[in-house]
Chain A
Amino acid sequence: MADGRPVPYRGEVFRPREVRTLGLLGIALLIALWQVASMCGWMSPILAPAPSQVAASLWTMIESGALWTNLKASLLRLLGGWGLGTAAGLALGFAIGLTTLFRSTGVPLVAALFPIPKIAMLPLFILWFGIGEGSKIATIAFGVFFPTVVACYGGVDGVDRTLVRMGRSFGLSSWSILMKIVLPGALPAILSGFRISASIGIILLVAAEMIGAQHGVGALILLSGNLMMTDQLLAGVVVLSVMGLTVSALIAWLERRLLAWR
């Protein structure tokens, strides 16, 4: 084989990886660029305040305790609304996944109510539950409820039927099958449902707070805008971003703990 050639390699495929340091660097670079642009006077300090101004404003709010007052109000609403919506959503989700009655009645109902923008219901909720916390929590709960139902019964549907059949064949009680086979089997889908419902919760939280609230991050942002305090406005936006990241990290931690078997 005098004229032998190596077979050319052509196995290269798109295989993007995530490098963490590079990600942080990207964010840092963007902020630095923005800071430089502000310092050079390319951007108006009132319409687009520099990162340093935003940071200063954030620090002022931390020192005065204003940040904590607003954040506490928001977190309590989010927790209450998300918790209520999730509890109710899981209950209906399992009922739909397990029983003919709820499957037949629940699925069309969910399909009809899911697409309603929940914020459109806020005026009605204000009439029902008052202008205070009730209406805001109800809006968030309502918004969280539907994606949780869909994720939950999807998860239950996805549980391997042979595992359930196995449970039956060994004479396990229905309760055991539910708790030891169906619930853990549906958990991955339920947890990814949590990711979606948590973001929906934050969106509705801010929207509800902008319509009528004294405290809360959404109210803070709206007020700052009305006063042209754009640095404080952006500080509020930063707080929201951190809030979202924290929630997402929390769910990732839950997934690592509960789904270690994968």
Chain B
Amino acid sequence: MRLEARGITHAYGPVRVLEGIDLSLSEGEIVCVIGPSGCGKSTLLRFLAGLERPDQGQITEFGSPPPGSLNPITTIFQDFALLPWRTAAGNVELVLEDHRLSRAARRGRVAGVLAKLGLSEFADAFPRQLSGGMKQRVAIARALVVEPAILLLDEPLSALDAQTRELLLDDFLQLWLRERFAAVYVTHNLQEAVRLGHRIVVLSRRPGRVREVVTIDVPLDARGGEAPRLDAIARELWHLLRDEAAAADREVVHG
């Protein structure tokens, strides 16, 4: 399944957020979207997820989702969006409950993804009992249980500390190597972008426009050995972003 956004333009009242964004996502590809804060990255993701409608432009999906996919386009949220009154297993099960699955099949799927993310022993823990990293793992398990074709990730690691971030980044890489889902990964962290992105889309400050698209042709599982090259790309990205970020930092937020 492929996804394509054409000419996405949007304003919240008088504030223009996005202007003429084109973006495409091929099968099994990870596209990272970076840009200064407030450039409309998250808004763009909500459009892709169908959670909001842009003023102009279209989002089109091509091809059919793999058989068995219950929610082809699935979002992973920055602040995890776990229900505090449900256990880890309950949170994962939630998104299966509206589908025609036998109780046993549902439980089986839940146990399967929890095991895949190393969460089996936390199945009965409530979110407040889990660390930030574990919470996000539960959220990833919840996203994977519906067998998505496309994952949309909205700064999934921003709420975590640096060490946890590193661990989850590795986990996520391993998952991708196994499942080969397509993903749009919104982040403001350049290191994450160069570690995960097949392509990196750099947005300008508000109103967000595509400033540059950087393709990294190093396979994801070979990136550990290419640190100097990736660092060079990250530096180049920072160079692109620096002035935009500085200007964005000095902007007064409206609304």
Contacts and interface: CB of A to CB of B under 8 A. Distances in A.
Contact of A169 (B51, B79, B97, B128): B51
Contacts, number: 48
Given A171-B71, A261-B126, A180 B51 contact: no
A173 interface: yes
Nearest to A187: B85
Interface in A157-181: 160, 162-163, 165-166, 168-173, 176, 180-181
A169 B85 contact: no
Contacts of B126: 261
B217 interface: no
B77 A170 contact: no
A166 to B, nearest CB: 4
A176 B98 contact: yes
Interface of A: 160, 162-163, 165-166, 168-173, 176, 180-181, 184, 259, 261-262
A254 to B, nearest CB: 14
Contacts of A170: 71, 74, 94-95, 142, 146
A173 B98 contact: yes
Interface in B123-156: 126, 128, 142, 146
Interface of B: 49, 51, 70-71, 74-75, 77, 79, 81, 83-86, 94-95, 97-98, 126, 128, 142, 146
Nearest to A177: B98
Given A165-B51, A170-B71, A184 B83 contact: yes
A55 to B, nearest CB: 45
B98 A166 contact: no
Contacts of A173: 98
B84 A166 contact: no
B81 A166 contact: yes
A161 B94 CA distance: 17
The B contact surface, by secondary structure, is: loop
Nearest to B70: A171
A163 B71 contact: no
A5 to B, nearest CB: 36
Contacts of B94: 170, 172, 180
A165 B81 contact: yes
B84 A262 contact: yes
A171 B99 CA distance: 10
Contact of B79 (A162, A172, A259): A162
A99 B84 CA distance: 25
A175 to B, nearest CB: 9
B84 A169 contact: no
A135 to B, nearest CB: 40
Contact of B83 (A169, A171, A180): A180
A255 to B, nearest CB: 13
Contacts of B97: 172, 176, 180
Nearest to A176: B98
9 contacts: A160-B81, A165-B51, A165-B77, A166-B81, A169-B74, A170-B71, A170-B94, A172-B97, A262-B84
A168 B51 contact: yes
A162 B81 contact: yes
A228 B70 CA distance: 75
Given A166-B75, A170-B71, A176-B98, A261 B84 contact: yes
The 5 closest A-B pairs by CB, nearest first: A166-B81, A170-B95, A261-B85, A169-B75, A184-B85
A154 to B, nearest CB: 18
A161 B45 CA distance: 16
Contacts of B98: 171-173, 176
A259 to B, nearest CB: 8
B55 to A, nearest CB: 20
A153 B81 CA distance: 22
Most B-side CB within 10 Å, residue of A171, A172, A176: A171
Given A170-B74, A184-B85, 8 more contacts: A162-B81, A163-B81, A166-B81, A168-B51, A172-B94, A172-B97, A180-B94, A261-B86
Contacts of A176: 97-98
A256 to B, nearest CB: 14
